[in-house]
Structure 1
Amino acid sequence: MSDDTDMLKLPLDAWHHAKGARMVSFAGYAMPIQYEGIMAEHLWTRDNAGLFDVSHMGQLILSGDNAAEALEALVPGDISALKEGRMRYSLLLAPDGGVLDDLMITATPTGLYVVVNGAVKHDDIAYLRANLPEAIGINHLEDRALLALQGPKAVEALIRIVPGVDQLYFMEADLFLWGEVPLWISRSGYTGEDGVEISVPAESVQALADALCGQPEVKPIGLGARDSLRLEAGLPLYGHDMNPTTDPVEGNASFAISKRRRAEGGFKGADRILKAVTDGPARKLVGFTVEGKMPVREGAPIFAGNDQVGVMTSGGFAPSVGAPIAMGYVAAAHSQAGTALEAEVRGKRVPVTVAAMPFIPHHYHRRGASK
């Protein structure tokens, strides 16, 4: 699939090919799904450090007076309270409260640094332009690449190249210099492990990727393991576990609605969302363990007896768990952990059980956490 001229190329496209990656189409880009194998890459990341190319994602700077307050009309987080170098996960909301995207927002000296999903980044930019005041600038950083270095040895490897990064804690970010190359580095990620995301000028990304993979703890990792890692960590994939038909409460993202915003409202769809906070959602995104070895994939209907009560949105084999797991929406009455249900796979019923997420513990490097 890598010779498909309709696919956009990442700055590291030739590098991925040289590393033996199998390329597939994702979010319109040719992206590496695996190098040596999904299982091996997954387990390597859990034990060491994996390097992911996520340059397909959109990197934006929102600037201008009161940019944070203006953005709060579109997201349910307390953005104006963010101190410089601090990050917040949030949700871009449609007028009816549906989720248009999930995103990361960081306060920087030049404005709000916002990372959005690759598949919808141009839609997001258009929506922001249409709904933010004209005085708010929106700069799409198309000349920068984005790498994610994830795993328990990620920072150990990185500080040999970029000293001082170990001073960051989870959901903190700062500007570092690698020689003369400016790197915006956040201690964050999408695997449930400790790690960082690195925004780097596209012209320097290959040299940085080579330097990182020159460390004994680091190997390049593809989309396949990225998906199984995030699923084990109970992290939703936008466009699958969340979309414009879901609101933050049923999408298991109530934590993204800040305390002040719950009291004040003032964001898109606030009436619907705050009612769901108070009354509870009609359906809920939950995790599932799966009996046997057959994976239960997206789209599989979920039954309680003869009644369909939900649908799977993500699923697959979880290498660190050693068994299939899944994520999906079920009616609230069936959403309690321990509830026994069935999923239909190729005309057969497979026993599944509602499970608490994450499926494995998170290992974030949190400020104030005991060591």
Structure 2
Amino acid sequence: MSTTFSATVIWSAPARPSRAIRKPDSPCCGTACMYSVASAGSTALHGTLNKELNMSTESLLTTPLHALHRELGAKMVPFAGYDMPVQYPAGVMKEHLHTRAQAGLFDVSHMGQIRLTGAEAARALETLVPVDILDLPVGMQRYAMFTSETGGILDDLMVANLGNDQLMLVVNAACKDQDLAHLCKHLAGHCKIEPLFEERALLALQGPAAVTVLARLAPEVAKMTFMQFASVKLLGVQCYVSRSGYTGEDGYEISVPADQAEALARRLLEEPEVAPIGLGARDSLRLEAGLCLYGHDMDTQTSPVEASLLWAISRVRRADGARAGGFPGAEQIFAQQQKGVEKKRVGLLPQERTLVREGTEIVDEQGTVIGTVCSGGFGPTLAGPLAMGYLHNNYTALETLVWAVVRGKRVPMRVAKMPFVAQRYFRG
């Protein structure tokens, strides 16, 4: 790789006094929240975000919509170092079903937005991810992963091509400081690295009515297709809009200047189809969609092959591709792809009403431990429990019968196809 470009890194140890009381020290994982909230009837929805719970509020960061969440009556919980809404008065069940039926507005401003600029930005980023960035068209985005030298996953992210030698990354909230340090360590000298943690907020408008709602403010968004990315003026403010999301539904993610986020959120909530949605429903929606949550369904000890994410490794970067390898852990990942792995992530449907939680052991008919649950809970759309887990490769075929051990009782489960609900991405 050429090293003739000057190093420009707009970064120092992140300090966010404008909206932070004190930044907590937190590891890079998609965790920091446990919740159990009752909704319709006596049904309880328990999230899978249940590691490293820290109920202290004195050290939490806040997003630009924090006051609005309070005004709307949100129940706030610690998540990834932020004080975030887990649910609103309607409850998780109704929020989930509303998103599937109409449109839900999510505050995901805790996630990290990072801009890379420079003629070598795409080529440099390819040294950290197993994805084709060089051929990513302007106005499109792509799912990617930072891989480790051993083939594990450091974080997953979205990468968009803004044009003019600019890339926009969106990384997980709890990982963003470490991801930024990772980028600075490896890409300094090849591109400008600009964290936008304070400058920009991020909203997600999800559901079948999302296109109708957003098109009232900017008609051109209706023509966008899944994973397209554009600069769009909303309420007179230039925003970055992508047709994507984390629910399995059609929808948009909107990067907006932080000081304009509340005005935009309030305007969207004026639309009759739109309701505010918290982390509880976001988790159950992504679980039904079969989408991974970093720190639960994948981590540094999990490879893309094991996580059933081989589809995310671009063909041009695979062992027989034109730009094969060149990213951390490539040889280990290629070897797994060729020889197979001992465990893989699969979908699981309990055959009883019992909820199966993260960390639950999975056994075969003889009682031998063959895997563990990585995410589990109640699926409001399915009106029943569902889970994802890692199983020994001998048990990953669809319809295979296995058992979860819940409080000493064996709960039968069948290996199921993911996503659990039909994806409704708009592809034109």
How high is the TM-score relative to the length of structure 1? 0.97
Structure 2: which amino acid aligns with 1:266?
A: G
Higher mean C-alpha deviation, range 43-52 or range 65-74: 65-74
2:114 counterpart of 1:54: no
Measure, in 1, the Cα distance between the counterparts of 2:79 and 2:263: 24
Report what 1:257 is aligned to.
313
Measure, in 2, the Cα distance between the counterparts of 1:32 and 1:101: 23
Query: Is 1:70–1:133's contact at 8 Å kept on the other side of the alignment?
Result: no
Measure, in 2, the Cα distance between the counterparts of 1:3 and 1:219: 28
Report what 1:11 is aligned to.
64
Report what 1:37 is aligned to.
91
Higher mean C-alpha deviation, range 149-158 or range 259-268: 259-268
Report what 2:169 is aligned to.
114
Report what 1:291 is aligned to.
351
Taking a change above 3 Å as real, the CA distance of residues 43 and 164 of structure 1, as seen in their structure-2 partners, is same
Residues 312-347 of structure 1: CA deviation (Å, up to 9, x unaligned): 000000000111000010111111111100111122
Correspondent of 1:187 among 233, 243, 247: 243
Deviation at 1:163, TM superposition (A): 2.2
Q: Secondary structure at the match of 2:305?
A: coil
Measure, in 1, the Cα distance between the counterparts of 2:405 and 2:205: 37
Q: Secondary structure at the match of 2:129?
A: coil
Measure, in 2, the Cα distance between the counterparts of 1:96 and 1:281: 14
| Aligned-residue identity in percent | 50
Measure, in 2, the Cα distance between the counterparts of 1:286 and 1:171: 25
Aligned residue pairs total: 367
Q: How does 1:299-338 map to 2 (within 5 A)?
A: 299-304=359-364, 305-338=366-399
Structure 2: which amino acid aligns with 1:195?
A: G
2:138 counterpart of 1:84: yes
Taking a change above 3 Å as real, the CA distance of residues 288 and 86 of structure 1, as seen in their structure-2 partners, is same
Deviation at 1:71, TM superposition (A): 0.8
Q: Secondary structure at the match of 1:68?
A: helix
Query: Is 1:2–1:23's contact at 8 Å kept on the other side of the alignment?
Result: no
Show structure 1 runs of 4+ deviating over 4 A.
Answer: none
Measure, in 2, the Cα distance between the counterparts of 1:261 and 1:293: 43
Report what 1:94 is aligned to.
148
Structure 2: which amino acid aligns with 1:298?
A: E
Deviation at 1:3, TM superposition (A): 8.4
Deviation at 1:278, TM superposition (A): 1.5
Q: How does 1:175-254 map to 2 (within 5 A)?
A: 175-254=231-310
Residues 255-307 of structure 1: CA deviation (Å, up to 9, x unaligned): 11111100211111011111111222211000100121111010001101221
Measure, in 1, the Cα distance between the counterparts of 2:56 and 2:348: 37
Deviation at 1:311, TM superposition (A): 0.6
Residues 41-91 of structure 1: CA deviation (Å, up to 9, x unaligned): 000000000000000000010111221111111111111000110111011
Deviation at 1:109, TM superposition (A): 2.4
Report what 1:362 is aligned to.
423
Measure, in 1, the Cα distance between the counterparts of 2:315 and 2:256: 34
Query: Is 1:95–1:269's contact at 8 Å kept on the other side of the alignment?
Result: yes
Structure 2: which amino acid aligns with 1:268?
A: P
2:187 counterpart of 1:129: no
Deviation at 1:137, TM superposition (A): 1.3
Q: Secondary structure at the match of 2:219?
A: coil
Structure 1: which amino acid aligns with 2:344?
A: K
Residues 133-188 of structure 1: CA deviation (Å, up to 9, x unaligned): 42311111121000000000001011112221111100001001124311100000
Residues 200-228 of structure 1: CA deviation (Å, up to 9, x unaligned): 01111111001100001100000000000
| Cα-Cα RMSD | 1.2
Report what 2:226 is aligned to.
170
Query: Is 2:235–2:264's contact at 8 Å kept on the other side of the alignment?
Result: no
Q: Secondary structure at the match of 2:424?
A: coil
Gaps of 5+ in 1: none
Residues 338-364 of structure 1: CA deviation (Å, up to 9, x unaligned): 110011112221111111100011000
Report what 2:215 is aligned to.
159
Structure 2: which amino acid aligns with 1:214?
A: E
Residues 82-135 of structure 1: CA deviation (Å, up to 9, x unaligned): 011011101111111100011000000251100000011001111111122423
Measure, in 2, the Cα distance between the counterparts of 1:326 and 1:3: 29
Report what 1:63 is aligned to.
117
Deviation at 1:249, TM superposition (A): 0.6
Measure, in 2, the Cα distance between the counterparts of 1:179 and 1:359: 37
Structure 2: which amino acid aligns with 1:12?
A: L
Higher mean C-alpha deviation, range 157-166 or range 311-320: 157-166
Deviation at 1:2, TM superposition (A): 9.1
Query: Is 2:102–2:209's contact at 8 Å kept on the other side of the alignment?
Result: yes
Measure, in 1, the Cα distance between the counterparts of 2:417 and 2:360: 20
Report what 2:339 is aligned to.
279
